[in-house]
Chain A
Amino acid sequence: QVQLVESGGGVVQPGRSLRLSCAASGFIFSNYAMHWVRQAPGKGLEWVALISHDGTIKNYGGSLKGRFAISRDTSKNTLYLQMNSLRPEDSALYYCARARGTYSPGILYWGRGTLVAVSS
């Protein structure tokens, strides 16, 4: 079955960087677009980024482009989110999610998330 396991979260000081990982299994990783979604404590879902199945197309939410970078390594079946210049408002639970299909970007599967806390 589809499994998405996030890691790399933790407590980080403002202005520092963090890289999140998402290990995918149970499906052919290179066939699917992938997303990062975040949720601040007590708040709603916020879309962070999307990468196409082949890594050629990358989209970012709001003003995140320039600070955040999504990437994927097909040889490792792993999705990444590089987060730079972190701010307290970036504190959230970060979910990895798989799209429905190669060219159908709607989310179908979710991981359990990894928690990021930006604090001095």
Chain B
Amino acid sequence: NFMLTQPHSVSDSPGKTVTISCTRSSGNIASNYVQWFQQRPGSPPTTVIYEDNQRPSGVPDRFSGSIVSSSNSASLTISGLKTEDEADYYCQSYDSDGHVFGTGTKVTVL
């Protein structure tokens, strides 16, 4: 099966923009939808992006998702960074063999 690799951590100040990458090791990233999840300490994950770029109701439009075919990766962008965005973020995708989660990225708001 394939792997999804994310940077271990990203950080920036409130109001700034951060982008988290999710690189697929084999197979075309655009062939299957990518989801993104936020997990705050001590809480279950919540979905912030589904089907590459769709936001569930209640998720602010500061969160956006995209596919970067040139690097076979997906990206999650958080703009206007807030202290409440400090959390772990995971990408997820799948193929005919099953589903895979990314390695996870810790977002720190300085």
CA distance A59 to B33 in the complex (A): 17
- List the A residue with the shortest CB-CB distance to B33: A106
In-complex Cβ contact of B99 among A61, A95, A108, A113 (8 A): A61
In A18-58, which residues have CB < 8 Å from any B CB? Answer: 35, 37, 44-47, 50
The answer to whether B104 touches A106, judged by C-beta atoms less than 8 angstroms apart, is: no
CA distance A107 to B93 in the complex (A): 10
The residues of B that contact A59 with a CB separation of less than 8 Å are 97-99
Q: Are B101 and A47 in contact (CB under 8 A)?
A: yes
Cβ contact within 8 Å between B101 and A45: yes
Q: How far is the CB of B8 from chain A (nearest CB, A)?
A: 11
- Residue pair B100, A104 in contact (C-beta under 8 Å): no
Are A44 and B50 touching (Cβ within 8 A)?
A: no
C-alpha spacing A108/B33, complex, angstroms: 12
Q: Which chain A residue has the least Cβ–Cβ distance from B35?
A: A106
CA distance A44 to B4 in the complex (A): 12
For B101, give the chain A residue with the smallest CB separation: A45
- Asked if B60 lies at the interface with its beta carbon under 8 angstroms from chain A, I say no
With an 8 A cutoff between CB atoms, is B51 at the interface?
yes
CB within 8 Å for A105 and B99 given contacts A45-B37, A45-B90: yes
Chain A interface (Cβ within 8 Å of chain B)? 35, 37, 44-47, 50, 59-61, 95, 100, 104-113
- Would you mind naming 20 contact pairs between A and B with Cβ atoms under 8 Å apart? A44-B88, A44-B102, A44-B103, A45-B39, A45-B90, A47-B92, A47-B98, A47-B100, A59-B97, A61-B99, A100-B50, A106-B34, A106-B51, A106-B92, A107-B47, A107-B50, A107-B92, A108-B35, A111-B44, A113-B44
